[in-house]
Amino acid sequence: MSLVDRHVGFVHALREAGLPVSLAEGLDAARAMLVIDLAERESLRAAYAATLVKKPAYRPVFDVLFDLWFPAATTGLEARPESGPDLAQASVPELRDRLARLLTGGDGPEMREFARAMVERFGRQPAGPGRQNWFSYSVLRALSPETLMAGLLQQLLAGQERGGLAEKAARQRVTSGIRRFEDAVAADVRRRIAEDSGVERISRSAVRPPLDQLDFLRVTKADLAALRREVYPLARRLAARLTIRHRKGRRGRLDFRRTMRASLQSGGVPLATHFRPPRPHKPELVVLCDASDSVASFAHFTLLLTYALREQFSKVRAFGFVDTVDEITRFFTPGADVVEAVTRLANEADMVRFGRTNYGYAFERFAERYGEAVGPRTSLLILGDARSNYQPPALDVLKSLTARCRHAYWLNPEPRRQWDTGDSIASDYGAVVPMHECRNIAQLAAFIETLA
pLDDT at 82 over 50: no
Q: At 18, which helix (H) or strand (E)?
A: none
Specify the range with the lowest mean pLDDT, choosing from 29-43, 299-313, 401-415. 299-313
DSSP at 314:
S
List the one residue out of 244, 245, 219 whose CA is nearest residue 304. 219
DSSP at 161:
P
pLDDT at 23 over 80: yes
pLDDT digits (tens, 9 = 90+) for 168-215: 888 888 888 888 888 888 888 888 888 877 788 787 777 777 777 878
Q: Which residues contact 25 (CB under 8 A, 6 or more apart)?
A: 51, 52
> What is the model's pLDDT at position 248?
47
3-class SS string, 329-340 = HHHCCCCCCHHH
CB 52 within 8 A of CB 19: yes
> What is the model's pLDDT at position 310?
67
| Comparison of pLDDT for 89 and 75, the residue scoring more | 89
pLDDT at 437 over 80: yes
The SS3 assignment for 140 reads helix
Q: Which of 28-32, 228-232, 344-348, 438-442 has the highest mean pLDDT?
A: 28-32
CB 350 within 8 A of CB 324: yes
pLDDT at 451 over 80: no
> What is the model's pLDDT at position 106?
65
Strand partners, 132: 126
CB 406 within 8 A of CB 379: yes
Q: Quote the CA–CA distance of 374 and 278 in Å, as a whole number.
A: 22
> What is the model's pLDDT at position 301?
74
> What is the model's pLDDT at position 394?
94
Confidence at 447, pLDDT banded by 50, 70, 90: confident
Specify the range with the lowest mean pLDDT, choosing from 3-12, 61-70, 82-91. 82-91
> What is the model's pLDDT at position 152?
84
> What is the model's pLDDT at position 409?
93
> What is the model's pLDDT at position 83?
45
> What is the model's pLDDT at position 85?
52
Summarize the confidence of residues 147-166 as an average pLDDT: 79
CB 274 within 8 A of CB 262: yes
